[in-house]
Amino acid sequence: MDISTVCIHGSNFPYDPTGSVSVPIYQTATFAHPAVGSSTGYDYSRVQNPTREHLEKTVAELEKGIDAMAFSSGMAAITTMMEIFQIGDHMIASNDLYGGSVRLFQTISKKNGITFDFTDTSDLATVESLIRPATKAIFVETPSNPMMQVTDLERLSTITRKYGILLIVDNTFLTPYFQNPLCLGADIVVHSATKYLSGHNDTLAGFLVLGSQELSDKIRAIYKTTGACLAPFDSWLIIRGLKTLAVRMDRQQENARKLADWLRNHPKIKKVYYTGLPTHPDYEITLKQSRGFGAMISFEVDCEKTAIRLLERVKLILYAESLGGGETLITYPMLQTHADVPKKKREELGINERFLRLSVGLEHIDDLIEDLEQALNDE
């Protein structure tokens, strides 16, 4: 079945006996038992709730995993995943990650005795040289946030398999519509469903999708114990958002390609980072492992003054953190998503005062260009 159809119909959930076309919101904390020692299959909503179950099965199917767990945010998903590691374990992570993941790894994970090496994970030789006996996993975002570096997942997974370590991929930017890391050798897929999967900038959610029963059993037990599960109503919002994932991704990508081209030719824009530009160094890897390029664009303007004026003068485009929704958002990574990354490291990556990130939304392309044009204008 095509992904766009799975988005609409979801998993084969036994629909409500009323025939309700929309999945019902089971707004309940607990479930009554028919007899001693028997259960309807549901006992308590932290463990499972029918609305959330429908969503989880749908996302597992979209990502071609054997199980998916829905969390109250992307960070809740990643935090829970980190509980599979022990004191003394070592991990390798991309040096260009969502700032919240960096903060988690460098504070809470560190306190829990887990050490990290941050590196350019698209450089496979360096990654391999960092592996030591204590190394348990490699955590990557591809394309990365916000520099849009692409890691060749199939090649990286031959390394992780060789050493018997886990490959964890944050697939928030491309979504299962454009990329399925589990099919490329990943063991765990992470999502901030707050972004494209929800698509409406109206709720927080996250996922872990697992490729093996062993990982599913292990993480289900932690999930049930720690409890950062997604509420029934929020689960329903994501089910509703997912219905239009395919059409939104197609349209947002189309807008992004046009906007990347327009930005590239604007005299005040010095550099455009978009994997869909054939001039992007990782264009070929993207074509090999993904079905699309997504709708995230980073770019560098000529000077700090232009960056600040642009942020203050956009009207339609909103100056806000986050991404993936119908509304086009512009972000200043230096002050927002990456404020906690040390200045030196940030600047080495290229995240300076001239650097901006766009999450291209669903507005008409002409209106987006007109807004950027007036905001970049000198008068």
Ligand X SMILES: *Cc1c(COP(=O)(O)O)cnc(C)c1O
Q: At 337, is the secondary structure helix, strand, or coil?
A: coil
Position closest to ligand X via CB: 74
The distance of closest approach from Cβ of residue 194 to ligand X in the complex, given in angstroms and rounded to an integer, is 4
- Amino acid identity, residue 47? V
Site string for ligand X, 86-125 (x = CB under 6 A): ------------x-xx------------------------
Choice between 68 and 75, CB closer to ligand X: 75
- Residue 42 Cβ vs ligand X, minimum distance, rounded to whole Å: 26
Known active-site residue 288:
no
Tell which positions 187-246 bind ligand X, by CB under 6 A: 192, 194-195, 204, 206
Does residue 152 carry a catalytic annotation? no
Q: Going by C-beta distance under 8 Å and a sequence separation of 6 or more, which residues neighbour residue 1? A: none
Catalytic member of 52, 67, 98, 282: 98
Element (H, E) at 336: none
Q: Minimal distance in Å, beta carbon 234 to ligand X?
A: 11
217 flagged as catalytic: no
Our finding on whether 73 is near ligand X (CB under 6 A) is yes
Rounded CA separation 47/52 (Å): 10
Does residue 338 bind ligand X (CB under 6 A)?
A: no
From 152, 170, 187, 282, active-site residue: 170
Calculate ∠ Cα 106-142-265, nearest 5°: 115
Catalytic (active site) residue 195: yes
Q: How many CB atoms lie within 10 A of CB 249?
A: 25
Q: How many CB atoms lie within 10 A of CB 43?
A: 13
122 and 149 Cβ atoms separated by less than 8 Å: yes
Size of the site for ligand X (CB under 6 A): 15
Least separation, in Å, of the C-beta of 190 and ligand X?
Answer: 7
How many other C-beta atoms are found inside a 10 Å radius of the C-beta of residue 93? Answer: 22
- Given 46, 103, 220, 309, which residue is catalytic? 46
* Residue recorded with tokens 């980073």: 298
Supply the minimum distance, in Å, between the C-beta of residue 101 and ligand X.
Answer: 6
**Residue 193 contacts residue 238 (beta carbons within 8 Å):** yes
b or e along 261-270 (b: 16 or more beta carbons within 10 Å of the residue's beta carbon)? ebbeebebbe
- Residue from 53, 141, 282, 371 in contact with ligand X (CB under 6 A): 141
Residues that bind ligand X (CB under 6 A): 73-75, 98, 100-101, 141, 145, 170, 172, 192, 194-195, 204, 206
Catalytic residues: 46, 98, 170, 195
